[in-house]
Structure 1
Amino acid sequence: MLNIVLHEPEIPQNAGNIGRTCVAIGARLHLIKPMGFSIEDKWVKRAGLDYWDKLEVTTYESYPDFLCKNFHGNQPDARIYMASTKAKRTYCDVEYERDTYIMFGKESAGIPEEILIDHEDTAIRIPMAPDIRSLNLSNAVAIVSYEVMRQWGFDSLEREGHLHRLSWR
């Protein structure tokens, strides 16, 4: 299963959009405090539309709390990738395992270097123009998440759409 991890997210609308993406692809959302909002915030729910109640979401008091509850003997085969503009390789250069966590940092600063330093081999980036600081967090999550889904053959996702009133010729 894909697990999206937000480290200290600040903007409720981004969290809502990311929650909606998680529901659309069958991913879990993990939120690491402190956060710049409450998950009960109207902007979170508004951005997530009517999908928020379908979301599998867990909050953690800190990064060590997240690690303790997800990686200490619980899931020995799970890997965590760190999405960061500071990474050396791109998100497309990775073959994602079936039990994958991808962590994204807060909007204003990204993942702290004190965390990144221990994850050089699993740090990934989205290529961008050199004068751009970063992408919007919810856009970055969608880009990387759909690459994972593509690699997994879009398992359990609807691959074909249908017209509502007409038929394709």
Structure 2
Amino acid sequence: MSRLNIVLVEPRIPQNTGNIARTCAVTGARLHLVRPMGFEPSDKELKRAGLDYWHFLDITYYDNLADFFAKTAGGEYFYFTTKGRHVYSDMTYPDNSYLVFGREDAGLPEQLLFKNPSRCLRMPMINDARSLNLSNSVAIGVYEVLRQWGFPELKNEGSLTKFDWNEAL
């Protein structure tokens, strides 16, 4: 089974993290949360945004960024940032990729980005726009990786509840 990892470094907004948790749950991606966070895991806004998908979620918490890197050594890290010099869709993502996203208000630490220039990825935007919403950015990144992998182990065809597609004209 292919493994995709989503990393949120010091997330601040529980609704964003809840939405991202739901994206991870429905795609089979693992969620990694790096403290300090701007909320507690029991926050009702976090749970509400994730709806009833929490039982599908594989989630790990880390005390800080150093703890995360120590416990995931050997992973392939890709840093999603407005400061990136490469377009996210131009990258090839191997199995066990870690898509790393920073705080909603500050992004990832610039020292980390500076040390990894070839892994700093940007989603194209107009000049005057600051950034996309974090949960939207994660969804775009997740589905690009899964598209490249051929959507492994995901249901690729839906069905109607009152009609049979096979009987359509």
Query: TM-score w.r.t. structure 2 length?
Result: 0.95
- Whole-Å separation in 1 of the counterparts to 2:39 and 2:6: 18
5+ unaligned residues in a row in structure 2: which ranges? none
Q: Is the 8 A contact 2:86 2:122 kept in 1?
A: yes
1:52 and 1:10 map into 2 onto residues whose CA distance is: 19
User: 2:94 aligned to 92, 97, 100, which one?
Assistant: 97
1:111-150 mapped onto 2 (5 Å cutoff): 111-150=108-147
Deviations 1:136-162 (A, max 9, x none): 000000001100000000010100000
CA contact (8 A) 1:31 1:57 kept: yes
Judge conservation of contact 2:20–2:139 (CA < 8 Å) in 1: yes
Aligned equivalents of 1:66, 1:120: Cα separation in 2? 20
Equivalent residue, structure 2, for 1:27: 29
Cα drift, residue 121 of structure 1? 1.1
Deviations 1:2-34 (A, max 9, x none): 100000000000000000000111100000001
Aligned residue type for 1:155: P
3-state SS of paired residue (2:132) = coil
Unpaired segments ≥5 residues, structure 1: none
Aligned residues: 164
Give me the whole-angstrom Cα distance separating, in 2, the residues matched to 1:84 and 1:94.
14
Residue 7 (structure 2) aligns with: 5
Q: CA RMSD in A?
A: 0.7
Q: Percent identity?
A: 51
After superposition, give the CA deviation of every residue in 1:100-128 in whole Å (9 maximum; x if it has no partner). 00100010011110211111111111000
Counterpart among 43, 47, 58 of residue 45 in structure 1: 47
| 1:162 paired residue number | 159
Distance of 1:133 and 1:144 partners within structure 2: 18
